[in-house]
Amino acid sequence: MAGRGCGQRGDNGWSEWGGYMAAKKRKLEEQFDKDCSNNAKQLERKSNIFHGISIFVDGHTEPPADELKKLMMEHGGVYHAYYSKDKVTYFISNNLPYAKIRKLKPNDKVVRSQWITDSIKQNKLLPTYDYEMYKDITKSRGQTELNFKRTEPMRPITSDFNVPNSDEEENNSIEKSSSSSSETEDIQAEDDDHLSALDAKHPKFLETFLKRSRLHYLSSTAVAKKVYVQDLRQKLEHRQLIEKRREELKNNIQRSERDYLFKLNDEKKDKIYMHIDMDCFFVSVATRNQPELRDQPIAITHSKGKKSTTTNEHQFYSRSELASCNYAARQYGIKNGMYLGKAQELCRNHQAKLLCLPYDYEGFHEVSDRFYDIILSYTLDVEAVSCDEMYVDLTELIIYLKPLHPLTFVSLLREEIQLNTKCPCSAGLASNMLLARLATRQAKPNGQCYIEKGYEQEFISKQKIIDLPGIGSSILDKLQQTSLHKSIETCKHVQNLFSLEKLKSVLGTKQGQTIYDMTRGIDIRTLAKDYSPKSISIDINYGIRFQTFDELNLFIKQLATELQKRLQQAKQKGKQLTVKIRVRSVNAPIVTEKFMGCGKTDDSSRLVNLHSFTDDLTIIELETIKLLKQMNFVVSDLRGIGITITQLQSTIKNSHGKDMHGTRTLFDCNQFRVPKLTITTDDIQNIDEPSESSVTRKRPIQQDQTTSVVPKKLTRHDCYTPGQIDPRVMNELPAEIRQEVEEHLKNPPTTLGINSELHQINIAEKSFTQVMDHLDEAVLNELPPEMRREITIAQKLRKIESKYPPVGGKRLVSAPVSSTLINKEKSNAFNVLMNSPQKQPIPKKTTNPIKKWHTETILNEENTVPIPLNEKKLNTNQQQQQQQQPSIAGCTSLNDVKLMLREWIESSDEPNQIDLDLFQNYLFDLLNSYNAEMVHQLLIYGLLQLKTLTKTIWTDNFQILIDSVQTRFRQMYGGATMDLS
């Protein structure tokens, strides 16, 4: 055989790997030739279309390699079983591994197998362009490193280097339906860090990624503005500034006839809202010092747009996205977010040239700050929307400036903005926020528009549905489908063709109601002045390619750092952490269609309740890693990862001590009609920070967090503190109670002796109870969140208590009050209730509490002693609580937690203190939700596990944990101890 013939040492380098390989390749080539001639008789030569083409097949293809080999034989091509630089003209692959992509040379072409089958179908050699997997762009730059971009449909890559178009990758933004090839003109030399920050293994990947993400810029500045406005409301000196500015304005203004004609019916409580938005913000900023440019079409893009679609449109069609374009460009149909290639084409159709300018982030910040500061110097009735946009409730200011016409004020304001920023803006005025926003649209560019009373219906009926905020083509399609042949374009059409019921049946109750309201110009929102996000997260679904868990850990640090930054910027801390992962699906190719993207993935998530409200980097990092370790996945298959912090609490308090409602869209409006009050086990946990404080004492960092973040707990006396009761809440109280509270405020007890304390508690307790009984949900909602939470929990507890008739008569009021009861730590609502001796549901004279508890709760359902575990079945409140099962590391069922416990014990010689604290907290949660049985079983299980192992540190720590749980148990169950023998 030819192979054997080559197998002599010396000539052919058999002693070396390369020699062996060379020989083997040659052998296979000869084999192919031989096969061709052997098969010539059986395999009819069908065509010669692949003459001169030699292929190398890599990885799984469809049809498979053997079939491709046969096809090459039949159609005049050559098939190589091994890759040879000189001989192979095309790589055929449908999913080239990443490691191999890295090795591709500038002239290498990777073509999908479909190119072969399609060519055969059409009986001609098709151009490979449409089948190429990676387009070689290195030639022009002389780069040898990875510079391949997908030519397949993919999200646009606007970056100038290999770090992706972050805008499209973070937070899974909507994918664009794509046209054709990759952009080539975006490539510019960037600094080395950027060039090498190719995937998430790079220590600067995230930083580089976010720096180039305009979506990150937009979302982070929006948050910053909301927080800024919120902060300013706390500042007395700012209020003084406003007064001064208003006075100046009032004194200096020259009134026109129009001003005297305007009348705002303030007795009828007419509202006047302004929506104000900068015109083509990014472009205006970028050209603020070159106004002469503004008449020509301009866009802001990462690409310089030098190579326009000239000779070969297909090849140079840029998919770099326009962040913003000016109004000169818009007259040709160009829009924000459009691909550069498309915009250039539109310009060319009008014999115009699009000028592409770079992002000027510094300028955006500067102009945005000035824009905000000017408006905020007149009023704080502002809802920040984004870096270039806000809503203002002008009602109060307009009343103050009477008889000034609102439009006179707005034109002065806009002039001031133009003068200070060199950028134009437009404003809309109306009686509600929706109409004001639509009026801005009408006013643009550089204009203002007021939809006065009486003209609202006429205005709204002409508006296009698609221009309404939040309405996309899918809603429009649904409406169109139901209306059969009639065209649905304007609000008038919807008004005429759809009743409320019909809209609800087509779009669902909430959306139906919203569309009904919007198309009639109805908007009941008021400004959401305070920023209160539901969650803060970071999600990266690009460039995630790790080989080891250590690499992943390093990336988690980057993510945790960014998440901490976001939490701090938003002035929030959270108590729940969720990790979401996207893992390559079993059948999905290792190399994704979209370069460095996710491909088809299976997604899963896990959450953990944190010990306290936190924004701590280390905790975020450690908890994330812990959760990841519990999730079963192969690290090299990870394609996306996200961390979300929920159960947030603001680290600042607003001026009214009110709950901070987040900005809501019109779509959320309905939910504001019915205020909801929810309470979670975490709330209970929060109020009931263990008085024995074993958790916090053990961990100084967390103690800090606990003390600095957990809001000051409500005492009964706090209920009477003037600063803490919103006057509106006072007004809502029944007259009799209000009187009592006011009386108490006027004559607060002055002595601190036991007797007076007792008296104080008596009054406080009585009134507190009455207050709680009379507060309805609406009133509760007006209270500061911590006060509200505490009252609600106290209410709950009172209900629970009422199911356990106190053994020793009336509770608290007649109780022998120990001085500790009044001490600061114990005087919050929850602790007083919990620590009340009369509260204990179990008679204190249990002779053998250990045994009794054990038999009664686990074995004997018929006991006569009212013990909590039996009671739980009777009480709906408790049932609700149980439905909110406490969880640890995403596990709630006994079996899961046991499994987790066993793995935890087995996995280490000594437990981590944070883990112990978390586990202890979880057990406390279980106790709080009357699931002592589960606590008992878990402790027994843990002890059994440890019995079989010789882990002394573990055993010691577990015993400390048991002691803490027993202490808590004793407090809750009248001195009983769990039998763990």
Length of the chain: 981
Instruction: Tell me if 383 contacts Ca ion by CB under 5 A.
Output: no
Whether 702 and 696 have beta carbons less than 8 Å apart is answered as: yes
d(CA 517, CA 793): 37
Q: Is 682 annotated as ligand-binding?
A: no
d(CA 899, CA 945): 11
Query: From residue 396, how far is each of 198, 265, 380, 399, 945 by CA, in Å?
Result: 54, 12, 11, 5, 69
CA 260 and chain centroid, separation = 49
Instruction: Tell me if 323 contacts ligand DCP by CB under 6 A.
Output: yes
Of positions 168, 389, 517, 925, contacts Ca ion by CB under 5 A: 389
Give helix then strand counts, H and E, for the chain.
Answer: 43, 18
Q: Greatest CA span in the chain, whole angstroms?
A: 115
Q: Minimum distance between the CB of residue 568 and ligand DCP, rounded to whole angstroms?
A: 24
Of positions 57, 200, 223, 280, contacts ligand DCP by CB under 6 A: 280
Pick one of Ca ion, ligand DCP, none as the site partner of residue 719 (Cβ within 5 to 8 A by kind).
Answer: none
Backbone angles phi, psi at 110, to 5 degrees: -105, 120
d(CA 460, CA 418): 29
What amino acid is encoded at 278 in this protein?
A: M
d(CA 623, CA 614): 12
Whether 410 and 400 have beta carbons less than 8 Å apart is answered as: no
Could you say which residues in the range 355-394 bind ligand DCP, by CB under 6 A? 388-389
Pick one of Ca ion, ligand DCP, none as the site partner of residue 337 (Cβ within 5 to 8 A by kind).
Answer: ligand DCP
Of positions 148, 209, 281, 720, contacts ligand DCP by CB under 6 A: 281
Of positions 3, 337, 470, 722, contacts ligand DCP by CB under 6 A: 337
Q: Minimum distance between the CB of residue 385 and Ca ion, rounded to whole angstroms?
A: 7
Q: How many Cβ atoms from other residues are within 10 Å of residue 291's Cβ?
A: 10
Query: From residue 361, how far is each of 291, 367, 489 by CA, in Å?
Result: 19, 10, 38
Whether 911 and 904 have beta carbons less than 8 Å apart is answered as: yes
Pick one of Ca ion, ligand DCP, none as the site partner of residue 413 (Cβ within 5 to 8 A by kind).
Answer: none
d(CA 349, CA 352): 7
Q: How many Cβ atoms from other residues are within 10 Å of residue 801's Cβ?
A: 16
At residue 75, the 3 state secondary structure works out as coil
Of the listed pieces 172-180, 278-286, 615-623, 743-751, which binds ligand DCP according to CB under 6 A? 278-286
Of positions 163, 229, 278, 404, contacts Ca ion by CB under 5 A: 278
If the CB atoms of residues 19 and 445 are measured against ligand DCP, the closer one turns out to be: 445
Site size for ligand DCP, by CB under 6 A? 15
Q: Minimum distance between the CB of residue 298 and ligand DCP, rounded to whole angstroms?
A: 11
Could you say which residues in the range 737-796 bind ligand DCP, by CB under 6 A? none
Instruction: Tell me if 169 contacts ligand DCP by CB under 6 A.
Output: no
Q: Is 277 annotated as ligand-binding?
A: yes
Tally the C-alpha atoms within 13 A of residue 824's C-alpha that lie toward its C-beta: 1
If the CB atoms of residues 289 and 311 are measured against ligand DCP, the closer one turns out to be: 289
Instruction: Tell me if 699 contacts ligand DCP by CB under 6 A.
Output: no
Provide the b/e sequence for 297-335 (b: ≥16 CB within 10 Å). Answer: bbbbbbbbbebbbeeeeebbbbbbbbbbbbbbbeebebe
Of positions 157, 278, 354, 491, contacts ligand DCP by CB under 6 A: 278
d(CA 573, CA 559): 16
Instruction: Tell me if 444 contacts ligand DCP by CB under 6 A.
Output: yes
Instruction: Tell me if 281 contacts Ca ion by CB under 5 A.
Output: yes
If the CB atoms of residues 29 and 389 are measured against Ca ion, the closer one turns out to be: 389
Of the listed pieces 231-239, 277-285, 347-355, 530-538, which binds ligand DCP according to CB under 6 A? 277-285
Pick one of ligand DCP, Ca ion, none as the site partner of residue 919 (Cβ within 5 to 8 A by kind).
Answer: none
Whether 973 and 841 have beta carbons less than 8 Å apart is answered as: yes
Q: Minimum distance between the CB of residue 221 and Ca ion, rounded to whole angstroms?
A: 11
Could you say which residues in the range 827-846 bind ligand DCP, by CB under 6 A? none
Instruction: Tell me if 277 contacts Ca ion by CB under 5 A.
Output: yes
Of positions 388, 682, 740, 782, contacts Ca ion by CB under 5 A: 388
Could you say which residues in the range 464-483 bind ligand DCP, by CB under 6 A? none
Of positions 108, 168, 279, 615, contacts ligand DCP by CB under 6 A: 279
Q: Minimum distance between the CB of residue 336 and ligand DCP, rounded to whole angstroms?
A: 4
If the CB atoms of residues 6 and 280 are measured against ligand DCP, the closer one turns out to be: 280
Site size for Ca ion, by CB under 5 A? 5
The binding track of 223-262 with respect to ligand DCP, each residue x by CB under 6 A or -, is ----------------------------------------
> ∠ at Cα 831 (828, 836), nearest 5°?
125
The binding track of 339-378 with respect to Ca ion, each residue x by CB under 5 A or -, is ----------------------------------------
- In sequence order, the 6+-apart residues with CB closer than 8 A to the CB of 416 are 374
What amino acid is encoded at 2 in this protein?
A: A
Pick one of Ca ion, ligand DCP, none as the site partner of residue 324 (Cβ within 5 to 8 A by kind).
Answer: ligand DCP
Of the listed pieces 139-147, 276-284, 475-483, 721-729, which binds ligand DCP according to CB under 6 A? 276-284
Instruction: Tell me if 324 contacts ligand DCP by CB under 6 A.
Output: yes
d(CA 83, CA 91): 8
What residues are labeled active site? 389
Q: Is 66 annotated as ligand-binding?
A: no
Q: Is 886 left (phi over 0), alpha (psi -120 to 50) or beta?
A: beta
CA-derived radius of gyration, the chain: 35
Q: Which residues are annotated as a binding site?
A: 277, 388-389
Q: Which residues of this chain interact with Ca ion, rule CB under 5 A?
A: 277-278, 281, 388-389
Q: Which residues of this chain interact with ligand DCP, rule CB under 6 A?
A: 214, 218, 277-282, 323-324, 336-337, 388-389, 444
Q: Which residues are annotated as a binding site for Mg(2+)?
A: 277, 388-389
